[in-house]
Amino acid sequence: MKAEKIVLRKMSMTLKAPFQTSFGTQTVRDFYLVEVHTKDFIGYGEGVVSGEPLYSEETVGTAWHILEDFLIPMIMEKGEISHPDEVGELFAPIRRNNMAKSSIEGAYWDLYAKQQGISLAKALGGTKEKIEVGISLGIEADINDLFRNVEKYLEQGYRRMKIKIAPGKDVQVIRALRERFGNIPMMADANSAYTLKDVDILKQLDEFDLMMIEQPLAHDDIIDHATLQKQLKTPICLDESIHSYEDARKAIELGSTRIINMKVGRVGGLSEARRIHDLCQEKGVPLWCGGMLESGIGRAHNVAITTLPNFVLPGDTAGSSRYWQEDIISPEVEVAADGTITVPQAPGIGYTPVPELIEKYTTAVKVVTRG
Ligand SMILES: O=C(O)CCC(=O)C1=CC=C[C@@H](O)[C@@H]1C(=O)O
Ligand SMILES: [Mg+2]
C-alpha cells in the first residue's frame, strides 16, 4: 500500500440532542476524517478527538498539527507499507497523540482489508457475524427525560444501558432507575468525577447490581482505582486511564480494573487494540467497545474490532440515528430489534462513505500528494 494522496477533512456535525457527561456537554461534534488514496483504493479513518481537550489532551487542532507536520510526512517518506501493523511501528518514536496516530492507521487497515478483498472484521481476525450493543445515555436535568430515553432504547432492543453519573446525580438516579425498570443490564460511567474521598458514595452503588462502574477516579490513575476496587463489589471498568498495552498490563496486575472499555482512538489504533484484546483474553478481563460519538466511519471501525472473541460485553456502538439526522455513510449503522448489528462482509470497513454528505459537513480540507 503506497499513499499517492492523503486528504484531511475537518468535520463539524450537529448532534440530534446535547450529550452531557460529568465533564461537559457536547452539542456539535468537531472531529476530522483521514482519506489515504493509493492507486487502487481509498482507506478511511476518523479522528475521534473533540473540539476541546476535555476527554483527553487531543483536539482537532493538535491532531491536525501532528498529522500535517509529523505523521503524514513520515508516511510519505516511508512509501510502501505492506501491513497496517507497520504504521504503529513507524509512529512509535512520536509520544502519545494516540487519536492522531489511530486515525491514519485506521485508514491503512481499511486499505489493507480492501486490498485483500475481505471485511475489516476478518482482516482483524474477528469471527462474529453479529455484535451485541448497548447505549450510553447522557446526564439529564430532568430524570423523566432519562426515563423516557431508557424506555425508548429498551424498546429498540439495546442490550444494556450506560448511565452517566456525577456527584449529586448518582445514587438517587441509579436507585430511581432500578425502581422504575427493575434489574435491566445497567452500568454507570463517572468520567473521573470522584476521588477516594467519595468511597462511601461509590460503595452505595454496590447495592444496585450494576455491571460495572466506569472510570470513577482520575483520568490518569491506576493506583487509587486499585485501592477502590478492594472496597467495591461492583467491577471497575477503566476507560480514560488505558492508553496502551502497557497501561492495560499494569492496571490488570495492580487489580485496578476488572473490565476494560476499549476505544481504538484512545489506544493509538487497531493494531494496539488487538494486542490489548489478546492480553485481556489471556488474563480473563472482559472487553467491550466504547464510543466517542463517532460518525459512521469511526462507527464502522468499532463494529469491526468488536467481532474479536474477547469483546464479550455489549459496547457503546449505537446505530447512526442515535446521534445523527443523517450519517456520512451508506447504509447507516443499524441496530436490529434484538440489539445487534450485523457485521458488513464487504471489503474494508463495509460501509460506503457518501462524498456529498462528507462535503456537506467539511469545514476545512488539507490535501498532501506524493512528490
Ligand atoms: O459514542 C458513544 O455512544 C458513547 C459516548 C460516551 O459515552 C463517551 C464518549 C466520550 C467521553 C465520555 O463522554 C463517554 C465515555 O467516557 O465513554
Ligand atoms: Mg467512559
For ligand 1, what atom is nearest to the CA of residue 21?
A: 13
The complex's ipTM?
A: 0.96
pLDDT for position 139: 86
For the record, the C-alpha cell of 158 comes out as 439495546
Cα–Cα distance for residue pair 97/244, rounded to 1 Å: 12
pLDDT for position 20: 86
Ligand 1 site, residue 292, Cβ cutoff 6 A: yes
Return the best residue to mutate from 136, 317, 324 for the ligand 1 pocket (most ligand atoms within 8 A of CB): 136
Ligand 1 site, residue 85, Cβ cutoff 6 A: no
Full DSSP string of 195-230: -GGGHHHHHHGGGG--S-EE--S-TT-SHHHHHHHT
| Integer CA distances (angstroms), 349 to 110, 194, 305, in order | 6, 37, 11
Averaged over 10-34, what is the pLDDT? Answer: 93
The annotation places the binding site for Mg(2+) at: 189, 214, 239
Ligand 1 site, residue 139, Cβ cutoff 6 A: no
Structure confidence at residue 23 as a pLDDT band (50, 70, 90): confident
pLDDT for position 363: 98
Cα–Cα distance for residue pair 119/14, rounded to 1 Å: 30
Is pLDDT of 141 > 90? no
Ligand 1 site, residue 21, Cβ cutoff 6 A: yes
For ligand 1, what atom is nearest to the CA of residue 322?
A: 3
Cα–Cα distance for residue pair 88/286, rounded to 1 Å: 24
Residue 331: asked if its preceding bond is cis (omega within 30°), the reply is yes
The annotation places the binding site at: 189, 214, 239
Cα–Cα distance for residue pair 189/212, rounded to 1 Å: 8
For ligand 1, what atom is nearest to the CA of residue 215?
A: 16
Cα–Cα distance for residue pair 311/308, rounded to 1 Å: 6
Convert the pLDDT of each residue in 228-279 to its tens digit: 999 999 999 999 999 999 999 999 999 999 999 999 999 999 999 999 999 9
Q: Give the chain's length.
A: 371
What is the model's pTM?
A: 0.97
Catalytic residues: 164, 263
Whose alpha carbon is nearest atom 13 of ligand 1? Answer: 21
Whose alpha carbon is nearest atom 7 of ligand 1? Answer: 136
C-beta of residue 84 within 8 angstroms of C-beta of residue 108: yes
